[in-house]
Amino acid sequence: MDREKAFRVFGALLLLIASVGPFVFPGKSDAVAATGYLRLDRLGISATGTATTGGLVCLTPQAGGTAAKVLISLPGTGTTGAASFGLNTTASNWTLGTTNIPSGATAWPGIGTNPTSVATNVITVASSTLTNGTQYCFTFVGATTITNPSSPGSGNTLTGTIATQTAGSGALDTINYALAIVGSNLDQIGVTATVPQSFTFALSSNSIAFGTLTLGSVITGGTTPTVTVTTNAASGYTAWVSSLNAGLKSTSLSNTITSATADLASNKGYGMQAGSATGNATVVSPYTASGTNVGALATTYSPFMTFTGPSIAAGDSVTLTLKAKADSTVKAATDYGDTLTVTAAGSF
């Protein structure tokens, strides 16, 4: 019994220690390493010795301490060569900035406008105190800053470092990065596309009724269809109209109210107006007529709408209005009619 009791006490003690122990004697956690990278605007070899146009430096420090400078060392000796970047050692040629940095990154504080020095293969940039765990970035541009190596490497074989230091050059964070340099212009993808010339034609309705043509009165068609042309053709478009009968014809009587360009106020007749132009559309005479004036409708195609360039995005449009007038010389019938063919095409 005593042994059993002892075992129970021992087990309880063990459990207590195991539960409380980690809080009383916390173990050491693994250190979080600083992370960072150098991104160059071009990764192709500089076959002609021309310089890249800059790049981006980012670092997420973890070392704590008061950073006063950051040193970026590029692979090589600072002179353009097979596996070596060339650096322009005139610090004023390097323009530093904090715009266009990755979303979520913080502008690197204290970097100034130019590096403090550029020597051999190391660029030294001033810095203010950094907060651990925060990603800081800055960019560098310039007409002559970095010249890429003169020949491609094999994989990510070009390595360098980004290191923050205190004012006394005490080491804080250091990260290693690797770059892969490819053949000349092989870091670019050529993109080509073709936008074909297209042409859209819409006619909003296809019947216009006059109803009763009261003798001596100018009657306007009951509907005014809209013709809409949308095209990106550089030479523009033209729309034509042709009439089957060149007039309103009664099939039962073989009698026609002939179409002509005229003022219907003083003449019987039949014709068309094209108006309410929108977009770039230009109405062609004689269909610019207004009031009681109309343009003639013929059996041949007559242009009524045109433009010498592309339409607006929503399309160029005009509305068609038909007018007719009968007088006592027109035989009575209920089937006076016509068929108009409205045609449009892109210009060439």
Partner 1 sequence: MYDKAGMNLFKKSLVVFVYLCIGVGVYSLVPSGASAQQNTAAPLDITVYPSNIDLSANPGSTVQQRIRLRNNTGNSIPFAITTMKLTTNAQGDIIPADSKEGYISWISYSPSSFTALPNEWTDISLQIKIPSTAAFGYYYAVRIAPTNTNVKQTSNGSTLLGQALVPLLLDVRKPGEKANIQLVSFNPSQVFYEYLPATFNITFRNTGNVHIRPQGNVFIRTGSNDDAAILVFNEANGAMLPGQKRTYTASWDDGFLVQEPIVKDDIVQRDSVGNPKTHLVINWNKLTSFRIGKYSAHLLAVYNDGTRDIPLEATATFWVFPYKIILGSLAVLILIIIIGRLWIKSYVARQIKKYQNK
Q: Which positions lie near partner 1, rule CB under 8 A?
A: 196-213, 221-222, 225, 227, 231, 233-238, 240, 248, 275-280, 283, 288, 290, 300-303, 308-309, 312-314, 320, 322, 324, 334-348
Of residues 61 and 247, the one with the C-beta less far from partner 1: 247
Report in angstroms how near the CB of residue 327 gets to partner 1 at its nearest. Answer: 15
Residue by residue, DSSP assigns 256-291 as EEEB-SEETTTS-EEEEEEEEEETT-EEPTTTT--T
Q: What residues have CB less than 8 Å from 218, skipping those under 6 apart?
A: 264, 265, 292, 323, 324, 325
Alpha carbons 57 and 112: distance in angstroms, whole number: 14
Element spanning 153, H or E? none
Of residues 25 and 348, the one with the C-beta less far from partner 1: 348
Report the first-to-last Cα separation within the chain, whole angstroms.
111
Report in angstroms how near the CB of residue 230 gets to partner 1 at its nearest. Answer: 8
Report in angstroms how near the CB of residue 206 gets to partner 1 at its nearest. Answer: 4
Of residues 65 and 275, the one with the C-beta less far from partner 1: 275
Q: Give the number of other Cβ atoms within 10 Å of residue 81's Cβ.
A: 14
Of residues 166 and 276, the one with the C-beta less far from partner 1: 276
Alpha carbons 258 and 217: distance in angstroms, whole number: 16
Report in angstroms how near the CB of residue 325 gets to partner 1 at its nearest. Answer: 12
CB 160 within 8 A of CB 177: yes
Report in angstroms how near the CB of residue 196 gets to partner 1 at its nearest. Answer: 5
Of residues 9 and 332, the one with the C-beta less far from partner 1: 332
Alpha carbons 108 and 223: distance in angstroms, whole number: 68
Q: Beta strand 171-179 with 158-165: parallel, antiparallel or unpaired?
A: antiparallel
Report in angstroms how near the CB of residue 241 gets to partner 1 at its nearest. Answer: 9
Q: Is 22 left (phi over 0), alpha (psi -120 to 50) or beta?
A: alpha
Q: List the structure tokens of 69.
A: 């400078």
CB 267 within 8 A of CB 326: no
Alpha carbons 62 and 64: distance in angstroms, whole number: 6
Of residues 136 and 307, the one with the C-beta less far from partner 1: 307
CB 165 within 8 A of CB 71: yes
Report in angstroms how near the CB of residue 263 gets to partner 1 at its nearest. Answer: 16
Alpha carbons 34 and 60: distance in angstroms, whole number: 5
Of residues 66 and 347, the one with the C-beta less far from partner 1: 347
Of residues 95 and 235, the one with the C-beta less far from partner 1: 235
Of residues 142 and 221, the one with the C-beta less far from partner 1: 221
Alpha carbons 261 and 301: distance in angstroms, whole number: 15
Report in angstroms how near the CB of residue 269 gets to partner 1 at its nearest. Answer: 14
Report in angstroms how near the CB of residue 190 gets to partner 1 at its nearest. Answer: 25
